[in-house]
Amino acid sequence: MGFVEDELKQLKSVISSLDARVKQLEHRATGAAGPVTTDEIRMILIGPPGAGKGTQAPKIKERFSCCHLATGDMLRSQIAKKTDLGREAKKIMDQGGLVSDEIVIGMIKAELETNKECQGGFILDGFPRTVPQAEGLDAMLKERKQTLQHVVELQIDDALLVERITGRLVHPASGRSYHTTFNPPKKPMTDDVTGEPLIQRSDDNAEALKKRLVTYHKQTSPVVGYYQKTGLWKGIDASQQPGQVWKHMLNIIEGKN
């Protein structure tokens, strides 16, 4: 009897491992959403305000089970947790200063070491913004015996961005967003769900945005040049529908592009 039970156990174990493998292969074949068994992902997402980083990053995070490190969120999180780096950053910010590259890189390192989500890799969003930051990031990863795999830039014409962003309307309580041209509310300036008034963010006006874009291009061009030299950079036309952008993104990450 013992022999039969052992044989049965062994067969069950073989069947369950085959079943898992079949699911994994089906997942790849169909390109279904959700976490995929893959090597750790290490990438940077570059793009001006309104290019779609906020749409694409959560999809990458869900698909590849990695962490999304947006500089602003990370700073706020470290300050809220009152970590040493957070305290240091708060002191500088309270005095109206800019947080140093060392502190930001230190925070990224801390997230990689302590944030469970980062075990599957990371997407960096909003950093690096300068060549010295890119060099600092490379050095920190090298210490961890890691290297970047992808640097993806969402490229879009400034005039189209201005049109996209200046038409944005927001329901402050829920964060629901509309667009005067592309996604208008049923009743002008009114939230479809609650009937409460919608607002336009103060920095979503054309003048403020044009200034932000000038600064963005001035800062970003050298960083893009830095990663083009390393062969990691790839550009995606971000004026396409989000679904098309996502298709190109997947092709880059999965090495088909």
Helix (H, G, I), strand (E, B) or coil at 202: helix
Please give the pLDDT value at position 257: 65
Phi then psi dihedrals of residue 118, to 5 deg: -75, 0
User: From CA 257, how far away is CA 152, in angstroms rounded?
Assistant: 12
The residue length of the chain stands at 257
Helix (H, G, I), strand (E, B) or coil at 96: coil
- CA-wise closest residue to 201 among 165, 176, 162: 165
Predicted confidence pLDDT, tens digits, the chain (257 residues)? 555 666 665 666 556 545 545 544 554 454 443 344 446 899 999 999 888 888 899 899 999 999 999 888 888 889 999 999 999 999 998 888 888 999 999 999 999 999 899 999 999 998 998 999 999 999 999 999 999 999 999 999 998 888 877 888 889 888 888 888 878 999 999 999 999 999 987 766 788 888 889 988 998 899 999 999 999 999 999 999 888 999 999 999 988 76
- Are 42 and 149 in contact by the 8 Å Cβ rule? The answer is yes
Helix (H, G, I), strand (E, B) or coil at 250: helix
User: From CA 148, how far away is CA 247, in angstroms rounded?
Assistant: 21
Please give the pLDDT value at position 37: 41
Helix (H, G, I), strand (E, B) or coil at 59: helix
CATH-assigned architecture of domain 37-254 = 3-Layer(aba) Sandwich (3.40)
In the annotated binding site for AMP, the residues are: 71, 76, 97-99, 126-129, 133, 201, 212
Domain boundaries, given as residue ranges, for the chain = 37-254
In the annotated binding site for ATP, the residues are: 50-55, 168, 177-178, 240
Place of tokens 């590259």: 101
Please give the pLDDT value at position 20: 47
- Residue 59: how many other CB atoms lie within 10 Å: 15
Please give the pLDDT value at position 206: 80
Take residue 109 and report the two structure tokens written for it.
Answer: 């390192």
User: From CA 197, how far away is CA 32, in angstroms rounded?
Assistant: 38
Find all residues with CB under 8 Å of 243, minimum gap 6, and list them. none
- Are 176 and 170 in contact by the 8 Å Cβ rule? The answer is yes
- CA-wise closest residue to 54 among 42, 67, 70, 32: 70
Specify whether 218 is catalytic.
Answer: no
Catalytic residue among 42, 63, 129, 164: 129
Catalytic residue among 12, 21, 187, 201: 201
Take residue 117 and report the two structure tokens written for it.
Answer: 């989500």
Find all residues with CB under 8 Å of 250, minimum gap 6, and list them. 31, 63, 256
Place of tokens 């990695």: 66
User: From CA 87, how far away is CA 190, in angstroms rounded?
Assistant: 41
Find all residues with CB under 8 Å of 125, minimum gap 6, and list them. 44, 45, 53, 57, 68, 69, 70, 71
Take residue 102 and report the two structure tokens written for it.
Answer: 């060392």
Please give the pLDDT value at position 255: 84
Please give the pLDDT value at position 31: 46
Please give the pLDDT value at position 36: 40
Specify whether 63 is catalytic.
Answer: no
Please give the pLDDT value at position 14: 53
Specify whether 87 is catalytic.
Answer: no
Q: Quick one: residue 175, left, alpha or beta (phi over 0 = left, psi -120 to 50 = alpha)?
A: left
> What is the reported pTM?
0.72
Specify whether 90 is catalytic.
Answer: no
Take residue 15 and report the two structure tokens written for it.
Answer: 């069947």
Please give the pLDDT value at position 33: 39
